[in-house]
Amino acid sequence: MLQMLRQAAGTWVAKLLLLLLVASFAVWGISGQVSSGLGEKVVVAGDASASAVDYRLAYDRQLLALSRQFGQRLTREQARSLGLDNQALAELVSGTLLDAQANDLGLGLSRQRLAQIAGSDPTFRGPDGRFDRNTFNAVLREVGMRPEDYLRSQAQVAVRQQIVSALADGADVPDAFFSAVALYRSERRNADYLILTPDALPEPAAPSDDELAKWYEENSTRFDAPEYRDVSLLVLDAEAIAEPDAISDDEVAAEYERTKERYGQSEKRTVQQILYSDRSAAEAAFAKLQGDGDFDTLLADAGRTASQASLGSVAKADISDPAIAEAAFALNGIGTTGIVEGKFGPAILRVTEVTPASVKPYEEVADEIRGEMAFVRARNELLDRYDAYEDARAAGDTMAEAAAKIGVPLRRIDAIDSEGNGRDGQPIADLPDAPNLVSSIFTAEEALENPAENLKGDGFVFYEINAITPTRPRPLEEVRDDAVAAYQSEKAQTAVADLANAMQQRLQEGETLAALADELGLATQTATDLKREAENGALDANAIEAIFSIPADAAGQVQTANGQSHIVFRVTNVTRPLASSAEAVPANEREAFDRAVADDLLRQLVDRLEAIYRPQIDQGAAQRALSY
């Protein structure tokens, strides 16, 4: 119904989405008191309330928006995992708080203004372009809404908008702020640095048995065996059900004749063209051609060279003028044509070279054609096989029995973890290309039928969990080599961090970076013209942020984003412009700042209204609203 509602009354539904702006700041948590016993009211704030129907509509709006964003209809479980139910509830709380504030302020909407809003909606216009009551009633009846409900929602939205507009309209950021932003972004820095990795230090000694046992006791969960699932897959796509052997030789031969040009190169001809201003000029030239003149003479008379007149070596289809193409390829080999009436005037053509067509023999491409024909036929049968499989499962067949009926083999994977890896830690080979398959496998119940996942191309994959092997702790002896490697890696990282801190201290005490680098046999590097929020070679985002966080000539150290190394540096130069205008900040970014200020004001308003009205939420009513 909601999709129909959006199509039929998109104008006023768009106004309802104004609440999403406010609600976006309440999704981090609803501070209202959770209660029960509010009847069909999901939210009560002051003397305002929102019903279960209001909540369901808010939920469906957000579900539709997210489904469009993901390119597929989200299931109820997927929506819940994304927190959609809480987001819709937050939207409802925000709207109800605005209603309570509007009631206290005595805000309202006159019947005349309400009539103007309805009358201006193009959805309700008749053939004459004016508001038509019959159209109004028919549209609302189609989407299952009563006229009084529509008018009530319009009044509610308009009153809420009065509050939001009064608060947020005109909340523009001053130019002085944008000038400061531009100055901040325009700063440039130079820095000398060196990169410390575990390779720069001796390898840590292997731990003793006691040391390893103690360390493993503290870190054993890192080595727990993951949960594995034994799963059966049925991949239903064109490739899986294609039957090349069912395509007869006669069908393949017929397809070869129909598409022969695909398997070779069309005939090409090198064509030259002389255009004339009118028919009489062309006839005079053609008369000379029939006498003692030749095409080269005509070129000289026209003041053109052979290269200027050439269309190149072209296939018939490459010549845009049909008359020229037909005449050039009608010649029996090399030669000249008569006068041709082309799109741009009369012309005389010469063909100087012919490259014959070449086509691969039937025997060379028969298997390729057979495979393509089987694939196309399978695509046409795909939905029929899908329906046949679903019918078989509905009739009580097991997955294996249903697969056998539609002639598609089952694939069994005896162990897959939540990352798509097998027991050997390597990715499962040839896993179907369905984006949500692995996550769906790990949310499914054992021995239950599950909805199919869509493949990225055409097709589906059905899956069923045969058994679940839960995660388990592994004894040290089972993972001793991995544990020793992890222990040594951790010690190496700690040693690098300690060395980086020590080097920073020595730099702050006056030593040079070059001298410290020589001690370790490392080379220093120099980075110039560094910009904020712009990585530069080995200097990732963490390093850039650290370099811009200290004064000129100061020293620092930072761990890289990948956690594998530390960068020790000294800022050698800072360049700041003397001034910068607000226009230096792009217009779209200035608009984003303006929106952020308005958003912050709205967030503060909602927080304040929550403190005043202390909204109550009936979770039971909310859950019931999603049950139908």
Q: How many CA atoms lie within 13 A of 133 on its CB side?
A: 1
Q: Are 587 and 6 in contact (CB under 8 A)?
A: no
How far is 65 from 463, CA to CA, in rounded Å? 28
Dihedral sign (CA 323, 329, 331, 334): positive
Task: List per-block mean pLDDT (blocks of 10 residues) for the chain, which spans 628 residues.
Answer: 28 33 32 46 93 86 82 78 88 92 90 85 83 85 77 86 83 89 94 94 94 97 96 92 93 91 89 95 94 92 93 93 95 95 94 93 94 91 92 96 95 96 94 87 94 86 97 96 96 96 97 96 96 90 96 96 93 91 91 88 90 93 83
Pick left, alpha or beta for residue 198 (phi over 0 → left; psi -120 to 50 → alpha; otherwise beta). alpha
How far is 111 from 131, CA to CA, in rounded Å? 16
Secondary structure (3-state) at 130: coil
User: Cα 370 vs. chain centroid, distance in angstroms?
Assistant: 36
Query: Judging by DSSP bridges, how do beta strands 555-559 and 616-618 pair with one another?
Result: unpaired
pLDDT of residue 82: 83
Max CA distance (Å), the chain: 110
How far is 593 from 538, CA to CA, in rounded Å? 31
Which of 1, 9, 4 has its CA nearest to residue 150? 9
| Backbone φ and ψ of 23, nearest 5° | -65, -25
CA distances from 599 to 163, 167, 171, 172, 177 (A): 14, 10, 10, 12, 17
How far is 416 from 442, CA to CA, in rounded Å? 10
Which tokens hold the place of 309?
């007149």
How far is 81 from 76, CA to CA, in rounded Å? 9
Which tokens hold the place of 560?
């890289």
Identical fold, 228-241+379-469 and 267-356: yes
pLDDT of residue 143: 65
The secondary structure element, H or E, covering residue 373 is: helix 362-394
pLDDT of residue 588: 92
pLDDT of residue 628: 63
User: Cα 372 vs. chain centroid, distance in angstroms?
Assistant: 31
CATH number given to 267-356: 3.10.50.40
Q: What are the residues whose beta carbons fall under 8 Å from the beta carbon of 132, sequence distance 6 or more?
A: 124, 125, 126
Angle at CA of residue 319, ends 313 and 325, nearest 5°: 95
CATH number given to 2-170+602-625: 1.10.4030
How far is 268 from 324, CA to CA, in rounded Å? 14
User: Cα 460 vs. chain centroid, distance in angstroms?
Assistant: 21
How far is 16 from 158, CA to CA, in rounded Å? 9
* 228-241+379-469 CATH fold: Chitinase A; domain 3 (3.10.50)
In the chain, the N- to C-terminal Cα span, in Å, equals: 13
Residue type at position 598: A
pTM: 0.52
CATH 3.30.70 fits 188-220+480-575, yes or no: no
User: Cα 417 vs. chain centroid, distance in angstroms?
Assistant: 25
How far is 263 from 256, CA to CA, in rounded Å? 9
pLDDT of residue 533: 84
pLDDT of residue 523: 94
Residue with tokens 């008369």: 287
Q: Which residues pair with 268 in a beta bridge?
A: 315, 355
Domain coordinates in residue numbering, the chain: 2-170+602-625, 188-220+480-575, 228-241+379-469, 267-356
Which of 562, 572, 540, 570 has its CA nearest to residue 496? 562
How far is 590 from 613, CA to CA, in rounded Å? 35
The secondary structure element, H or E, covering residue 531 is: none
The secondary structure element, H or E, covering residue 464 is: strand 460-469
Q: Are 348 and 341 in contact (CB under 8 A)?
A: no
CA distances from 555 to 511, 517, 545, 567, 626 (A): 10, 14, 13, 11, 58
pLDDT of residue 6: 28
